Amino acid sequence: MMVVGVLFALSTHAALVWLNQYLATADGPAEFRLWPQSAIWWFFPGFGALALSWEITLQLWSLFGNRDEANLYSYWSSQAAGFDSRRLLRWMTILIALPIGVLTFLELPVHTVLRQDDIRECGYAFAPCKMYRYADARRMTMIEGFRDRDGKLTSRAGIVIDFSDGRRWSSADIGDFGKTVDPAFQDFLVKKTQLPLDYAQTEADIPQIKRAAP
């Protein structure tokens, strides 16, 4: 059962990462690609392994061994535990693993690609992707991270770009937490926007740019 659980977790995690990257590469050529936090892809594999490994093991036993023996062992283990463990795990699958699986599935299209002329940001739940043209950029700011409820600064470095239509894009909204920004990524944005790189501790410290008149 432990082997089945490990194999389930590893294979499911690999499949989720591959699907996310496949959807991102379907956008075509890009200079940089930004992915969701890597930890996101471990929630369903982890909970799924806990809830499903016992059932998968019994099904494999029934398929390649003796179904009666598998059912008898399941009954014996429930009697030894003092409750129907198989039913409990099935309810865990429905109430915990399945909702997490659905939420994880909706995360698959999340990615950002930086192309030659624009930034294409695809969000949660297959929402329409947003486009940001470098030519419309009006300000670019390097940030260190964000403040928690107690005012403590959490490191999550990124580059925030304000556009002429009032919209704002931040590279810190996607990907793993980090204290620095990739120098090549920074240089690419400076070259494309032709803007000086300002500095602020957090995105909240950056004043909004007034939307340009039509």
For position 212, what pLDDT does the model report?
59
Global confidence as pTM: 0.85
Q: What is the pLDDT of residues 34-55, one digit of tens each?
A: 999 999 999 999 999 999 998 8
Q: What is the pLDDT of residues 184-209, one digit of tens each?
A: 999 999 999 999 999 999 999 999 88
Residues 6+ apart with CB under 8 A from 173: 158
Average pLDDT, the chain: 92
Nearest to 74 by CA among 61, 58, 88: 58
Residue 78 token pair: 């429930």
Compute CA distances 138 → 79, 129, 162, 170, whole Å: 69, 21, 6, 14
213 pLDDT band, cuts 50/70/90, is low
